[in-house]
């Protein structure tokens, strides 16, 4: 199965321009499953509640999800894309799934980073796995990666591939994904953005280097730090479904949950 990502530098608040850019990169790709960055349509650096409300869209009726549904239908592909979601007055840093059949679902970021805690509510529905026919996918958004529980849960829930829309500003994630994949035998597609957001007296620089990492911990593709890119690679789903390490060890069956109590205490 061919998976891919789209990497570019969204312009803050220019939703139409960002959708157009993303669609043209998606059009270049031959992947069956394509991941877009976190908040790809709005940009990342919100500085007021008013603008966050103005830019966030309802899902699936908003124009971003509709545009993605259109291209997914036309190209018969699956897309996971980060956007700001508005639902009955609540705002979420979300990722939508669209498939050749239309809207597939939404995941709301669980671990909010820094000032996201001011603008967004945390995802009350938690982690989800979606069966898209060709495989099962899980979704985590950017900073979720820092919590090993995110990828572990998604793998335990049956994900073959974790789609990871990101706006990374710290330098660790891409290397860390090798370990996340290894410890869960799951493929991860990290779609990061590039460029700089400068708003008021605030500034973030994003690290690019979107990456496809395999269940056996190989980096199949790492994008450049700065350029627009639609990268893709072939992955072997069987390697994510077989959790055996050797004749006597199985990654999941050997878990000793009776000793892990502290992990789920608040």
Catalytic residue among 21, 57, 85, 109: 109
Does the protein bind ligand ACM through residue 143 (CB under 6 A)?
yes
Among 29, 52, 167, 232, binds ligand ACM (CB under 6 A): 167
Looking at the Cβ atoms of 47 and 220, the one nearer to ligand ACM is 47
The CB-side HSE value for 122 (13 A sphere, CA atoms) comes to 11
Which pair of tokens denotes residue 249? Answer: 């060890």
Verify whether residue 14 is a known catalytic residue.
no
Q: CA-CA distance, 53 to 57, in Å (whole number)?
A: 8
State the minimum distance, in angstroms, from the CB of residue 226 to ligand ACM. 18
Looking at the Cβ atoms of 36 and 168, the one nearer to ligand ACM is 168
Verify whether residue 38 is a known catalytic residue.
yes
Catalytic residue among 32, 85, 142, 229: 142
Does the protein bind ligand ACM through residue 46 (CB under 6 A)?
no
Verify whether residue 229 is a known catalytic residue.
no
Part in contact with ligand ACM (CB under 6 A); list of ranges 46-54, 154-162, 167-175, 230-238: 167-175
CB 118 within 8 A of CB 105: no
State the minimum distance, in angstroms, from the CB of residue 142 to ligand ACM. 3
CB 228 within 8 A of CB 7: yes
The helix or strand, by DSSP H or E, that contains position 93, with its residue range, turns out to be strand 90-99
Site map 180..219 versus ligand ACM, x via CB under 6 A: ----------------------------------------
CB 65 within 8 A of CB 91: no
Among 113, 120, 127, 130, binds ligand ACM (CB under 6 A): 113
Q: How many residues bind ligand ACM (CB under 6 A)?
A: 7
Does the protein bind ligand ACM through residue 38 (CB under 6 A)?
yes
Phi, psi of 88 (to 5 degrees): 50, 50
Q: CA-CA distance, 66 to 39, in Å (whole number)?
A: 16
Catalytic residue among 21, 32, 38, 163: 38
Provide the annotated active-site residues: 38, 109, 142
Residues that bind ligand ACM (CB under 6 A): 38, 113, 142-143, 167-169
């Amino acid at each position: 199965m061919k998976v891919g990502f789209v990497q570019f530098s969204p312009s803050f608040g220019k939703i139409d321009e960002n959708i157009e850019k993303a669609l043209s990169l998606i059009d270049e790709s031959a992947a069956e499953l394509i991941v877009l960055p976190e908040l790809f349509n709005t940009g990342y650096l919100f500085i007021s509640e008013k603008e966050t409300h103005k830019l966030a869209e309802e899902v699936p009726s908003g124009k971003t999800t509709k545009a993605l549904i259109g291209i997914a239908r036309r190209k018969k592909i699956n897309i996971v894309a980060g956007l700001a979601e508005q639902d009955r007055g609540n705002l979420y840093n979300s990722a939508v799934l669209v498939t050749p059949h239309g809207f597939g679902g939404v995941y709301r970021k669980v671990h909010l980073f820094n000032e996201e805690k001011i603008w967004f509510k945390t995802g009350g529905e938690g982690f989800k796995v979606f069966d898209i026919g060709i495989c099962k996918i899980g979704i985590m958004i950017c900073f979720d990666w820092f919590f090993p529980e995110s990828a572990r849960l998604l793998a335990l829930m049956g994900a073959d591939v974790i789609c990871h829309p990101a706006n990374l500003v710290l330098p660790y994630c891409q290397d860390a994904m090798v370990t996340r994949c290894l410890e869960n035998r799951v493929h991860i597609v990290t779609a990061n953005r590039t460029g700089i957001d400068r708003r008021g007296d605030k500034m973030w620089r994003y690290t690019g280097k979107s990456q496809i990492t395999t269940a056996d911990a190989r980096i199949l593709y790492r994008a450049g730090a700065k350029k627009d890119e639609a990268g893709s690679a072939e992955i072997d789903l069987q390697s994510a479904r077989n959790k055996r390490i050797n004749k006597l060890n199985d990654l999941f069956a050997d878990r000793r949950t009776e000793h892990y109590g502290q992990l789920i205490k608040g």
